[in-house]
Chains A and B, each alone.
Chain A
């Protein structure tokens, strides 16, 4: 007959094992890099060549010396583009990006790839710059 102690230990071990397997699978799936694109600000716009975005690439960090914060360029399912400022709207901290969203380590705010708040304390969505596409160039309009 199984003892209560043994039951608790074995049940917990099984749960932890399942969690470890699920986490491991998720880790392997999500262990991707985010490429950077060095840009310059010209007349309040930034241009990113379409050729710089690899096939299947979902996000790209756009970095310009003139800007205090990077911009996350998000490639939509219909090849539409979204440019999100990587600044937490709660306390202006630098955000960390992954293929599923942006995260702030200061107080735990999280945003999805549309820039919407998915976890507080941030209350406002991320700054979403207007983008246009022409002649194989994506233009990010800063104003």
Chain B
């Protein structure tokens, strides 16, 4: 009865709130499922499917973050509900589980922005207690943030810039992944993935490969990509290497030929590799990451699409933080001071028909404080200092006579909150 009343009210919303209706409907559906057949997983379910033949469990979780940001150069501020994510999982039996992650960015979707998208819709098949397969829209293990992007787990209001601009997190594609860990070498984990490739038309100098992701929608699959990673935990260290290699042209051979591009599984490829290390001990945290991406056929892409694609790009970051509450005896609270430096160049090298633009050679110094009053909630303050190269005037086609001069240095002061449950 209660659900019927709620549903009636949801559907009474005007049509312009279609996406909000969708979110509310999904949330109500999830709760209704819980009430009717499922249950929350609790630690007491730990015998779970092994000793519980029905094995039916619903997992409900989520996260979100909001940010206030003051732009010193423009002397203006913005306040945005950056994202809210609803995570619903369902354990069919002891071997098969469904995970879905639905994300709404910027609070709503209309002609001016916002995005409602699935970050994951993936079936997990446990092969044994050391390995499993993922099938569906999944997030490959590339970088730190792609898998571990919950906002209570990183410092600062922004996800690592290198992992947004060079590694286009959250990077998800359709395919299968094989994940495992070894008992022979304690702490060693690996992953292999096979998924659809990128879209060559979306590769461009100012955005790198970010706009080339299909993210699960009408992906071309005659061009494919492979990924792999090795992850090793030892003592306070966590080391990870990962790589990606995939074709970007899913056109017919005839169409590809007419554009001067190579089609096929790995035609007109993109390669990306990264290495990262994390260290946590006695309240100290260190993170370091370096990544390099290569687009060897950038010249052909520029001929086909006039996209000024770069041939190579790179990025790196290093962060150090200390939890002031480490020795205070507050097991569920943290007060972390941190500083992070990031550097990247989206146009590290360009082909002969490309035009290098130093605007995309950027450095970020971010420092601030993260307060977790309890696990799952974070209050954040940071100062973000940005320096870029000068824009190449050859790429400014219609300069406005009233445009203020470009300022290659800027500062942002940001406050935010985040949650995860």
- Tell me, yes or no, whether A binds B: yes
A: which residues have CB within 8 A of B? 19, 23, 26-27, 29-36, 41, 44, 59, 61, 63-64, 66-70, 85-87, 89-92, 94, 96-101, 103, 105-108, 110, 116-124, 127, 142-143
Chain B residues in 8 Å Cβ range of A85: 46
A119 touches B129 (CB 8 A): no
User: Could you tell me if A96 and B129 are in contact, using CB atoms closer than 8 angstroms?
Assistant: no
- Measured CB to CB, the closest approach of chain B to A58, in angstroms, equals 10
With A34-B186, A99-B186 known as contacts, the answer to whether A68 contacts B153 (CB < 8 A) is: no
Chain A residues, CB < 8 A from B235: 26, 29-30, 98-100
Q: A107-B148, A108-B148 are in contact. Are A33 and B184 (CB under 8 A)?
A: yes
CA distance A103 to B97 in the complex (A): 20
Give every chain B residue within 8 A of A100 (Cβ-Cβ).
Answer: 233-236
Question: Does B277 interact with chain A (Cβ within 8 Å)?
Answer: yes
Looking across the interface, which residue of chain A has its beta carbon closest to that of B234? A30
Q: Which residue in chain A gives the minimum CB-CB distance to B188?
A: A96
Chain A residues with Cβ under 8 A from B206's Cβ? none
Q: What is the CB-to-nearest-CB distance from B300 to chain A, in angstroms, rounded to a whole number?
A: 35
- The CA of A23 and the CA of B97, in the complex, are separated in Å by 36
Does the CB pair A92–B186 fall under 8 Å?
no
Q: Are A66 and B50 in contact (CB under 8 A)?
A: yes
Q: Which residues of A contact B150 (CB under 8 A)?
A: 107-108, 120-121
Shortest Cβ gap from A88 to chain B (Å):
11
B83 to chain A: closest CB distance in Å?
A: 15
- The 8 Å CB contact of B50, one of A67, A105, A127, is A67
Other-chain residue from A30, A94, A107, A119 in contact with B187 (beta carbon distance below 8 A):
A30
Also in contact, A121 and B186, with CB within 8 A (given A29-B235, A87-B46, A108-B148):
no
Of the candidates A29, A97, A127, the one whose C-beta lies within 8 Å of that of B43 is: A127
Per the bound structure, the CA–CA distance linking A72 and B233 in Å amounts to 16
Residues of A within 8 Å of B183, CB to CB, are: 33-36, 61
Q: Does B238 contact A (CB under 8 A)?
A: yes
Q: Is B142 an interface residue (CB 8 A)?
A: no
- Chain A residues contacting B91 (CB-CB under 8 Å) are 92
Known contacts A98-B187, A121-B152, A121-B376, A103 near B147 by CB under 8 Å: no
Q: Identify B147's interface contact among A70, A97, A107, A119, CB under 8 A.
A: A107
**B39 on the A face (CB < 8 A):** no
Give chain B interface residues in 30-69, CB to chain A under 8 Å: 41, 43, 46-51, 59, 61, 63
Within 8 A of A (CB), among B319-374: 331, 372, 374
Q: How far is the CA of A41 from the CA of B288 in the complex (A)?
A: 44
Which chain B residues border A89 with CB–CB below 8 Å? 43
What is the minimal beta-carbon distance from B281 to any residue of chain A, in angstroms? 10
Of all chain A residues, the one with the shortest Cβ separation from B131 is A94
Q: Residue on B with the closest CB to A95?
A: B181
Q: B376 touching A27 by the CB < 8 A rule?
A: no
B385 at the interface (CB under 8 A from A): no
Instruction: Specify the chain B residue showing the minimal Cβ separation from A25.
Output: B235
Among B59, B187, B372, the residue within 8 A (CB) of A91 is B59
CB contacts (< 8 Å) of B420 on chain A: these are 120-121
Sort A-B residue pairs by CB-CB distance and give the 10 closest, nearest first. Answer: A30-B234, A108-B148, A98-B187, A127-B46, A67-B50, A96-B181, A123-B375, A68-B50, A68-B94, A34-B186
- Given A26-B237, A107-B147, A120-B150, A31 and B185 touching (CB < 8 A)? yes
In the complex where A34-B186, A90-B61, A105-B179 touch, is A117 in contact with B46 (Cβ < 8 A)? Answer: no
In chain A, what residue has the closest Cβ to B421? A123
Smallest Cβ-Cβ distance to A124: which chain B residue: B43
Of the candidates B43, B132, B185, B236, which one forms a contact with A94 in the assembled complex, judged by CB atoms under 8 Å apart? B132
Bound together, the chains give a CA A63 to CA B153 distance in angstroms of: 31
Residues in chain B near residue A99, CB distance under 8 A: 186, 235
Bound complex: CA A25 to CA B101 (Å): 40
Question: Is residue B189 within 8 Å, beta carbon to beta carbon, of the partner chain?
Answer: yes
- Give the CA-CA distance A63 to B130 in the complex, in Å: 11
